[in-house]
Structure 1
Amino acid sequence: MEEVATMLKSNNFPEEVAKFLHSEWGISHLFPPQKEALKPLMEGQNALICIPTASGKSLLAYLSIIKQTIVMKPGTQAVYIVPLKALAREKYEDLKALSGKLGIRVSLGVGDAGEDGRGIHRADIMVCTSEKLDSMIRTNNSFLSNVSVVIADEFHLLNDVSRGPTLEINMTRILQLPNKPQIVALSATVGNAEALASWLNAKLVESNWRPIDLEYATLAQLEVEPRLVQSQNNNPHLKPPRTLSGPKSSPSWAVLKDTIASNGQLLIFVGTRKSAQSEAKKLSERLNKFVIKEDLNLLDEAKEVGAKIKSNATSSMGDELGNVISGGVAFHHAGLTSFQRKLIEEGFRQRKIWALIATPTLAAGVNLPAQRVLVRDVKRWDGGFMRPLPVMEVRQMMGRAGRPQYDKTGEAWILAKGNDQFELADDLSARYIHGDVEDVVSKLSHEPALRFHLLSMIANGGLETRKEIGSFFFSTFLGQSYGDIALKEQIDEMLNWLVDQRFIRSIGIDKKIDNETDLVEDWDDEIPEWALAAKSSVGVSLSKPTLPTEAKFGFSKANAYRELNHSNQTHVIHQGTKYKATDIGSRVSTLYIDPLSASILLKGMRRAVRRRVRGTEPVTAFGLTHLVTRTPDFFAMWAKSSDLSPDSEVSLKSSLHYDEYLDKAVLEENHLGQVKSAWCLEMWMEEFDLRVIEKKLGVSPGDIYYRIDLSTWLLFASRELLRIDDVFAGHHQHTIDELSKELDLLRQRIRSGCKADLLDLVSLKGVGRARARTLASMGVRQPSQLLSMSKNQVSKLKSLRGWGPKIVENLIEQVKSYKVNHLTERPRSDDEPLPGEEHLS
């Protein structure tokens, strides 16, 4: 404790911090990378910290927060940005425990329903996802003015196509704040750390030091061959190869048995959900037989977790999960419910579960280390092909090996499969163990990201002229990497599209700004004539290397839609051209939806109004639900090859609703996936059991809940856009009001998963659609009718499965309280007149 206490005292930290770190987290000394990073951090410098998992990055972030908000700038705030909800909750719990000793408040913002959005920014420390931070800035762009330190965790995910652009825009905004908050970026090892540090104006701290050794090895024909040891020792010793006992047909079992023999736990990464479930089932069966044969007492606690999963299961996948956990093994992927994921993660941390089979998303999520990691699959299905995983991603998986509190050495193995396994093992070692990690590459140039953030910066970011817009995007990591020439045409094209869609409008030209010549023009005397001729062609750029792109399937290009494409030639925009967001554009930005989604929803809702007014074609709940599945913000289900058959149930369902569609995908495969998604939501709100939906459509409960969240958000956006749309110039207001009510009703039904007659009952706390239907079958249709139930009815209700005396009594008390509060008129403080206010009779 002495080392940490001395350091903290020299930096004027409150005494409570050292005591807490020692007594609660067992921290008595600092690791070498922490010592190196602390000096610039305590001086308030920006820092990019690239050190391995479990080397103490989080502690550095926490100490930076305390130093800035309590020691150096009391009364200021901190923002802790994380990429995933699960990781946000983990950091929130850490900071909440630490801040409790210091009398400061911590808030959590991850965009969940029921979250107090207004209270998040009032806390001293705000833990949030990058998307939530972006959303808060859009609604209140001044709230960062009191922030003195920003932590960006998992900063290498700037490379991620879905999360990276928002993080990049947030960091660009923060870099330009007049209050200049300290930036602390925490990252895995990346290929271009110097470039990232330069962009952040940050001190770069890099290290391969780990608190325990990490042995990297390949596994071929059950032979484990160590390839590299990441060690505290400068001259690490490689152990000789060894052969595992077990069947060659099941290397995963041989690895698990060997891991259990050393009292360790195993993480296995596989490429697909199906593989995760299949592997977990096989290993669970083998482990169960092994325990019985050897008369071992290894599965008692696992069986308790499995029983809890099964008792709450609402799907066959939940049943299967409970069964495999009873055998000491679990699978983990995005199709699980949050309840299931929580139980699995807790069970693994508490060493009740011996092996966890996961898809790669776990590597970027919660902190679940194990003694040993096996990367079984190094390829995944991507864009119609099996592609090798990036080195950075595999290193993240392997970095999960080794638990400082339990292990002296962590072991990370890659499995070689197929023919010539030993030759393949050498290749895998060269690429994933000894190979260079890829550079982080900005994904902001992708059109969905660019149009999303371009509209936001005009509507809520204070950018007005084309020059200001160009300057801002040039200051992003994308602009710093490739220069403004590469961005110019893309920005001009997108500005023109946003104008055509009436999300922004041009309001003249700032005469003080010269129309500066494109930098390419300065090179004309050095460019051959054929290149000069090519320069005027669409898509040809005479600049630095072209921006990184990737194949896109489904939604990407706004101008791929014929009705949205304004011209074949990008109009060059004067640098002084001024822009302002329209009312619709501003609302699209604060609704936090892709402008292309807004365009599709607006077009669909206009068609719905015309249909209603003319009375010629139907506007149905299925048609409105299908409309939101058409947007790029909705993650539509995949149509299987069997669904493409004209006689498939999905194709027949599509034909049945043919005249109800308010918009339709060009590709039949995309259309059927969207029909399937709308059908899934329809079955949910018609109260079909999850097992029935799972069997008919092949969708897991976690996927259903995810699409419920997306659809309710997009239906709300549809209603808001319908209300603000001025295309009908004030006419047909009655029809618009009717459609708004229908959208509200549809949103409530999807959110609650019930028919309209249960909506009043499901508004009660503790009443879901199953309990509401039980009450309805007993003649209770309104909450107030609970108070009119006979004693026999109340007793019967208490005895039913899933109810019980406590639940029934709490419900009755809830209704009584509701009635008292609404029947008793209390004076309102906001009716009291202010001093000097004129009293109105």
Structure 2
Amino acid sequence: MKIDELPLDPNIINFLKSQGYTELYPPQEDAIKAGVLDGKNILVSAPTASGKTLIAILAIIQHIKKHKTKIVYLSPLKALAAEKFSEFKKLETAKLDRKIKVTISTGDFDSDDTLKNSDILILTNEKMDSLMRFSPSWIDDIGLVISDEIHLVGDEGRGPTLEMILTRFKLGLAGNKSQIIALSATITNYDELAEWLECKPVESKWRPVPLSEAVYDDFTVKNQERESYKINFDSVGLPSIGLGIDSVKNGGQSLLFAMTRPSSVKLAMDSGKYIEKKLGSKELAELGKISKKILSNNEQTELIKKLASVVKQGVAFHHAGLNQNCREIIETEFRNGKIKLLSATPTLAAGVNLPARRVVISSILRYNSKFGGNSPISVLEYKQLCGRAGRPQYDKEGESIIIAKQIPQDDLLEHYVDGEPEPIESKITEPSSLRIHLLSLVVTSPTITEDRIYKFFSQTLGGMQVEDETIELNLENAKSFLQDEKFIVNKEGGYIATKFGQMVSRLYIDPMTARDFRNAIEYDVSKGRKHTFGFLHLITNCNEFFPKFELRNKDEERADVVIENNKQTKIKHIEMQDCTRSLLAMDLWINEGTEIDLSDQLNIESGDIHRMVETANWLVYSLRELSRLLGRADLISELDALRQRIRYGIKEELIDLVKIKGIGRVRARRLYKNNIKTRQDLATTSVNQLAAIDKIGMAVANSIKSQLRVR
């Protein structure tokens, strides 16, 4: 079907053409036939790059034409949300029946007015869930919900949150008779998910670029048709590197999946010298500029130096230890074709869209914390990895190759290439999930009865998949915990949340964590002294803290020293075995340890500490609010100071200085060394004196002075 044939206004047709759309892909045409333009609920299960985004755009345009209600696009990850925001922002320029505003919200402190006054909201699942707990009036004005990557409803960590959101919309507990559009990768039980959401299923295995799935063993590649060909690596060591170089040599790009951070770095380092030889002088000059950009924009840890070094050779690595700035540079330059070979951990496959002609899976083993060792990846995860093969408009065919190690080639072909992805299974009936989400249900549905609680959870995906007796038992256990710990009370046959329960739900923390925080505040935190290290220990030990790194043998002596140095600010006795490397990292960070210090001393990288800071800030804020509720106003100023120290990575003496915009940890320390210790000192120091200080300069000095005048 041509775009011209769609029953849309000519202005919209012209807009779609201006965005490069001329003809519908088969899954898009199937979605039209299923009623996506007629307000029908649909679930689309189709491979990566098969056109699911256009299905969402068409639904949005039609909804805006017919209705005045809001549209919400749900994404599992901030990076994906940002990607979709840039795409949907273009709709503001389309000639629609009314002027629209597109907004993204993935953080904790967005203005409710901004969301209220927007037409299209791009939200992470967690942000949507958090908003539902506050019940702003505009939530009832949502008429279209688009849920991307819905197969992640089976994810152990984030799946239950998405399941709660969609169940609320389905039952009309949120939204205005909302149309639901669910977009998914290829999954086995798509019909079951469609039944749960009362959607019409649209299933397709069509891809814009055909995919060859194969297994390599002993210089032979065998594909799904059991066709084989020999491959020569020109004396390159590892097969994964040889296969990657072979694709680049033939004009393609390669994406190498490694199962650990160190192996992803090593693959890139070992590939660089081979890729560099295949590049021209102009390409190498461009890569040199990108390398310098990486070095100039970041602290030069060993990891950053390695990244900058391999980028000069047309190669890069990508994992969660890199900060967002580095990851975005790598993603952009890989898309632009300047980086030819990228080695990455599997988290990339669940994130931004970075296709390559050839995907090489260097190992099918991955560390599993449940088993305390390596275990094979699932077929579903394998299909996610190989789905990155094939760049639309560039490649006639994409190719995915598993490297056989110890497992026979034919066995891997049979299990992974021929295999069907495992069915998506709900995790909402797990005890920890029920504890969290039962509380949120009671908070948003005051006086809800036991019967209504059971009916709600029976309408979840878990309610379809799990035995009734199991749901009833787990609900009873969760309810007993929440009552015993005073989160909820039974009042006249219905349940209501206590003030403590309401606050915990809106702070978005696990009731188990909240209980531990409350016990510490009420029984362990004494008056009249500071508890900085004790608070850090409390938050880094809770379930929500992420990322959490365990102590290595060589960290034990350091842990003993840190505990001894902080004995005056502990909450209670701490042994070395009670510590994590994350606790040591946070202590080093707020005492102005640099990213180089963290990397060299604790093997914790820039991306890790940035996520720790974000998590710690939220958890300390939660401690602050619970302290206020529990009558411990004496703790608020200390917790406020700790949040500032965590946010900026500073000692307490610099807090007053960083309140000025443009002054961070480095400039604040420079000022302090020049005997400028407070905002009052800044006010009495001349512009020229400020500008003469290293890292300040005239522009920053003028900015500081203008802010002080406003105050």
Q: Which category of TM-score, normalised to the shorter sequence, fits these structures?
A: over 0.9
- Residue 764 of structure 1 and its aligned partner are, at CA, apart by 2.2
Letter in 1 for 2:84: K
- State the SS of the aligned residue for 2:4: helix
Q: 2:52 aligns with which of 28, 43, 57?
A: 57
Answer yes or no: is 1:325 the counterpart of 2:307: no
Q: Which of 447, 469, 472 does residue 488 from structure 1 map onto?
A: 472
Contact in 1 for aligned 2:143/2:178 (Cα 8 Å): yes
CA contact (8 A) 1:51 1:207 kept: yes
RMSD between aligned residues? 2.3
3-state SS, counterpart of residue 241 of structure 1: strand
Alpha-carbon contact 2:627-2:633 (below 8 Å) kept? no
2:687, 2:705 within 8 Å by CA — same for their partners in 1? no
SS in 2 for 1:351: coil
Query: Counterpart of 1:707 in structure 2: which amino acid?
Result: M
Give the drift of 1:163.
1.0
Alpha-carbon deviations, 1:357-404, whole Å to 9, x = none?
111111111111111111112111112021110111111111111111
Whichever residue aligns with residue 195 of structure 1, its letter is E
Q: Do residues 603 (structure 1) and 519 (structure 2) align?
A: yes
Query: How far apart in 2 are the matches of 1:31 and 1:690?
Result: 47
Tell me the CA shift for residue 454 of structure 1. Answer: 0.6
- List alignment gaps of at least 5 residues for structure 1: 229-237, 510-577, 726-732, 820-841
Q: Specify which of 130, 147, 163 is matched with residue 125 of structure 2.
A: 130
* Cα separation, partners in 2 of 1:791 and 1:723, compared to 1, 3 Å: closer
Aligned residues: 702
Within a 5 Å distance, the mapping from 1:142-153 to structure 2 comes to 142-153=137-148
Query: Secondary structure at the residue paired with 1:299?
Result: helix
Tell me how far apart the structure 2 counterparts of residues 803 and 54 of structure 1 sit (CA, whole Å).
47
Give TM-score scaled by structure 2 length. 0.94
Are positions 1:744 and 2:632 aligned together?
no
Deviating more after overlay: 459-468 vs 680-689? 459-468
In structure 2, how many angstroms separate the alpha carbons of the residues matched to 1:787 and 1:285? 55
Whole-Å separation in 2 of the counterparts to 1:386 and 1:246: 32
CA contact (8 A) 1:141 1:461 kept: no
Query: What SS does structure 2 have at the residue aligned with 1:368?
Result: coil
| Alignment check: 8 A CA contact 2:324 2:607 kept | yes
Whole-angstrom CA distance in 2 between matches of 1:341 and 1:148: 35
Structure 2 CA distance for aligned equivalents of residues 634 and 467 of structure 1? 35
Q: Quick check: 2:248–2:275 contact (8 Å CA) kept in 1? A: no
Distance in 1 (alpha carbons) for counterparts of 2:37 and 2:685: 65
Q: Deviations over 1:221-262 (max 9, x none)?
A: 23222225xxxxxxxxx8651313333632133223211222
Alignment of 1:106-117 (within 5 A): 106-111=102-107, 115-117=110-112
Task: Indicate if the aligned counterparts of 1:47 and 1:203 stay in contact, CA closer than 8 A.
Answer: yes
Deviation, structure 1 residue 439: 0.2
1-structure distance, mates of 2:46, 2:683? 61
Q: Is the 8 A contact 1:212 1:410 kept in 2?
A: yes
Cα separation, 2, equivalents of 1:752 and 1:206: 49
Distance 2:434 2:488 in 1: 15
Q: Give the distance between the partners of 1:120 and 1:665, measured in 2 at CA.
A: 44
Of the three residues 254, 257, 262, the one matched with 2:250 is 262
The equivalences for 1:81-480 within 5 A come to 81-101=74-94, 102=96, 103-111=99-107, 115-140=110-135, 142-177=137-172, 179-228=176-225, 240-247=228-235, 249-288=237-276, 290-291=277-278, 298-314=283-299, 315-383=301-369, 384-418=372-406, 424-462=408-446, 464-480=448-464
Distance in 1, matches of 2:324 and 2:100, equals: 29
String of CA shifts for 1:154-206, please: whole Å, max 9, x gaps. Answer: 00001111110000000000001173211110001112111111111111111
Q: Does 1:592 align with 2:505?
A: no
**Counterpart of 1:512?**
none
For residues 707-761 of structure 1, the C-alpha deviation after alignment (integer angstroms, 9 at most, x for no partner) is 1111111111111111112xxxxxxx6xx22212111111111111112222222
Whichever residue aligns with residue 45 of structure 1, its letter is K
- What is the CA-CA distance between 1:145 and the residue it aligns to? 1.7
Encode CA deviations 1:106-149: one digit per residue, 9 max, x unaligned.
1111125x533442243101110111001001111543321111
User: Secondary structure of 1:327's match?
Assistant: coil
Checking the alignment, whether the CA contact within 8 Å between 1:137 and 1:143 is kept in structure 2 is no
Per the alignment, in what secondary structure is the counterpart of residue 117 of structure 2? coil
Distance between the aligned counterparts of 2:121 and 2:280, measured in 1? 51
CA distance in 1 between counterparts of 2:185 and 2:401 reads 19
1:295/1:197 CA distance change after superposition, 3 Å: closer
1:355–1:483 Cα change, 3 Å: same
- The letter of the residue matching 2:491 is I
- Residue type matched to 2:579 in 1? L
Which of 805, 810, 813 is the aligned partner of 2:703? 810
User: What is the Cα deviation at residue 33 of structure 1?
Assistant: 1.5
Residue 3 of structure 2 is aligned to residue 38 of structure 1: no
Letter in 1 for 2:595: L
Q: Distance in 1 between matches of 2:564 and 2:700?
A: 45
Deviation at 1:286, TM superposition (A): 3.6
Consecutive unaligned residues of structure 2, counting only runs of 5 or more, are: none
> Is the Cα contact below 8 Å between 2:547 and 2:611 reproduced in 1?
no
Distance 1:755 1:659 in 2: 16
Question: Percent identity, aligned pairs only?
Answer: 36
Match of 2:627 in 1: 722
Tell me if structure 1 keeps the 8 A contact 2:359–2:401.
Answer: yes
Cα gap change, 1:643 to 1:446, in 2 (>3 Å):
farther
Question: Aligned residue for 2:674?
Answer: 778
Cα distance in 1 for partners of 2:71, 2:160 equals 22
Give yes or no for the alignment of 1:687 onto 2:592: yes
**Counterpart of 1:28 in structure 2: which amino acid?**
T
In the TM superposition, what is the alpha-carbon distance from 1:636 to its structure 2 partner?
5.7
> What is the letter of the counterpart of residue 330 of structure 2?
I
SS in 2 for 1:602: helix
RCO greater where, 1 or 2, for CA within 8 Å and sep 6 or more? Answer: 2
Cα deviation for residue 643 of structure 1 reads 4.9
